Amino acid sequence: MSDFTSIQPNAVIQAAYGKSKDLASDKSAGATADQGQTPDFAQMLRNSASEAVSTVREGDATAAAGLTGEAGLQQVVEATMAMESTVKMSVAVRDKLVEAYQEVMRMQI
């Protein structure tokens, strides 16, 4: 794989990154609740999602910098491992949310 342009993100990935930019740039979503109050579930989920997006973006940028020789191997490995654990955690949370939704849908009224 000598051609760096062959692994550049395609239009679908760029569109997904563009949509995820709203998560990271939403300042009101990143703000915590007033002191003395705990943040609600939706806000905690939104904050976690924006942190996950930023971790994946940083890992992607570090990997690209490593391919061009601007970042060291250690940095690339650390960023890739952080990105991998973030993706695994996000998938696990998604699976639990889907499972909880399905459980609610199976409840009899």
Note the residue count of the chain.
Answer: 109
Nearest CA to 45 out of 55, 53, 35, 57 is that of 53
> Tell me, what's the pLDDT at 2?
45
> Tell me, what's the pLDDT at 3?
47
In tens digits, the chain (109 residues) has pLDDT values of 444 444 555 555 555 556 666 655 554 444 444 456 777 888 888 888 899 999 999 999 999 999 998 989 999 999 999 999 999 999 999 999 999 999 999 998 7
The structure's pTM equals 0.59
CA dihedral sign, ordered 60, 63, 67, 68: positive
> Tell me, what's the pLDDT at 4?
45
Extents of the domains making up the chain: 42-109
> Tell me, what's the pLDDT at 9?
52
